[in-house]
């Protein structure tokens, strides 16, 4: 699955903010999810932005852009050093774990009969962030 994260409608708008704001856009997306109470249900857009941000953190870290849209490769290369310097891997892991447990994206995937595929895709991202 090539970046199912980036198929969410609102993510293309978020990627525009990443292109201009770089690390600040990633930090904002991760903070939104990570500062919620543990029991809070994560809305679709917030989850999608945090997953996209986490994909960028993973790609900056392991230099594997295979899960990213080609249109964002140049922006990632331009922000890669700043992303790695910001040490966002732990925040990305935490956000991804929360989204896997209690999010609208998870519920939508399950309702569409794609819950297992979605969970596997997100778990692959989590492994990249752990590696």
Domain assignments of the chain as residue spans, ordered by start: 4-130
Q: At what angle do helices 11-21 and 23-34 cross, to 10 degrees?
A: 130
Please tell me the predicted confidence (pLDDT) of residue 3: 46
**DSSP conformation class of 42:** B
Share of the chain above pLDDT 90, in %: 92
Please enumerate in sequence order all residues whose Cβ is within 8 A of that of 124, keeping only pairs 6 or more positions apart, or say none: none
pLDDT of residue 8: 86
DSSP assignment, residue 69? Answer: -
Q: What is the reported pTM?
A: 0.95
Q: Which residues of the chain are under the pLDDT cut of 50?
A: 1-3
User: Which helix or strand (DSSP H or E) is residue 108 part of?
Assistant: helix 104-111
Q: Residue 4: exposed, middle, or buried by beta-carbon count in 10 A (0-12, 13-18, 19+)?
A: middle
Q: Look at residue 9 in the predicted model and tell me its pLDDT.
A: 84
- Supply the pLDDT for residue 2: 37
């Amino acid at each position: 699955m090539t970046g199912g994260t980036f198929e969410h409608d609102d993510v293309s708008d978020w990627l525009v903010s990443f292109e201009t704001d770089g690390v600040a856009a990633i930090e904002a997306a991760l903070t939104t999810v990570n500062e919620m109470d543990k029991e809070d249900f994560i809305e679709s857009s917030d989850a999608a932005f945090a997953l996209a941000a986490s994909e960028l953190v993973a790609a900056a870290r392991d230099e594997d852009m295979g899960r990213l849209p080609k249109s964002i490769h140049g922006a990632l290369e331009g922000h890669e050093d700043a992303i790695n310097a910001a040490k966002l891997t732990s925040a990305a892991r935490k956000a991804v774990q929360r989204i896997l447990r209690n999010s609208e994206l998870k519920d939508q995937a399950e309702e569409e009969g794609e819950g297992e595929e979605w969970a596997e895709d997100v778990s692959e991202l989590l492994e990249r962030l752990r590696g």
